[in-house]
Amino acid sequence: MYGSYVALGDSFTEGMDDLRPDGTYRGWADLVALHLAGQVPGFRYANLAVRGRLLGPIVAEQVGPAIAMRPDLVSLAGGGNDILRGKVDLGTVAATLGDAVGRLRATGATVVVFSGADPTHLWPAGHRLMPRAVALHHAVQKLAAQHGAVHVDLWSDDGFRDVRMWSDDRLHLSTLGHHRAAAHVLERIGVPPLAGWREELPPGVALPWLRAREADLHWARRHLAPWVSRRMRGRSSGDLIAAKRPTLDPLTDEA
């Protein structure tokens, strides 16, 4: 059983958009940590993830501190923000991720990597991103096998095609989606998740065509336009944001 865990990555690992009552983010990594803490006395947890980070900064800013903490378990999720950019070298992304996984594995830690869940079916013209997303999925599969890492494959889980697994921004997981992701992680590291975390939802009701187009317009105004504006100004949603758990400390019942 794992006595310590460090989570690395971007908004997915930070926990957007699984909001606690106080407005802070929880997310799948906190759920995994809390579940492990319930089984291991003195369990310690750090979460260095920061929203908006590209893979290069994730590796540069987070991998070194994680190695210094010498945890039993490390998760590394990144590359999703890279493939959203206008230009991306997928070979460089794969090489950067593989090098980081190799460094982490060299410490003796169990390392978890991800093929992220697919939100593109929720986006108008989302199919244009599909080739990049598929290429990243295959790259993660390959490097996990090469380095002996644990591959969590959310990409192949059709349960994430349910709109209820996603937040209003159609990019981040909802609370339901984070519970499902946590279940995947726990199953892959050999720890049974809590009952219900991965159960299928009852059938949903599809919006009529006109309502669906109105929802698309609302999404574009509220979420897509601000995202494009930040890109044009060279800004990130993670500017001025610090990691929520920067040190490897005992976990209280806060997740």
d(CA 134, CA 139): 9
Which tokens is 87 given?
A: 């230009």
Q: Is the pLDDT of residue 164 over 90?
A: yes
- From 227, 174, 168, 243, select the one nearest 17 (Cα to Cα): 174
**Strand, helix or coil at 178?**
helix
At 176-217, the pLDDT tens digits run 999 999 999 999 999 999 888 988 888 877 778 777 677 777
Q: Is the pLDDT of residue 255 over 60?
A: no
At 127-156, the pLDDT tens digits run 888 899 999 999 999 999 999 999 999 999
Tally of CB atoms within 10 A around 220:
14
Tally of CB atoms within 10 A around 18:
24
CATH 3.40.50.1110 fits 4-200+208-250, yes or no: yes
Query: Where do the structural domains in the chain lie, given as residue ranges?
Result: 4-200+208-250
**Strand, helix or coil at 133?**
helix
* pTM summary value: 0.91
- Which residue is associated with the tokens 């979460």? 47
Rg (CA), the chain: 18
CB 11 within 8 A of CB 22: no
What's the confidence (pLDDT) of residue 252? 75
CB 159 within 8 A of CB 181: no
- From 112, 177, 120, 178, select the one nearest 148 (Cα to Cα): 112
d(CA 177, CA 168): 12
Which tokens is 189 given?
A: 């590291």
Q: What is the mean pLDDT of residues 24-51?
A: 96
Q: What is the mean pLDDT of residues 113-133?
A: 87
d(CA 43, CA 252): 9
Task: Please provide the average confidence, as pLDDT, over all residues in the chain.
Answer: 91
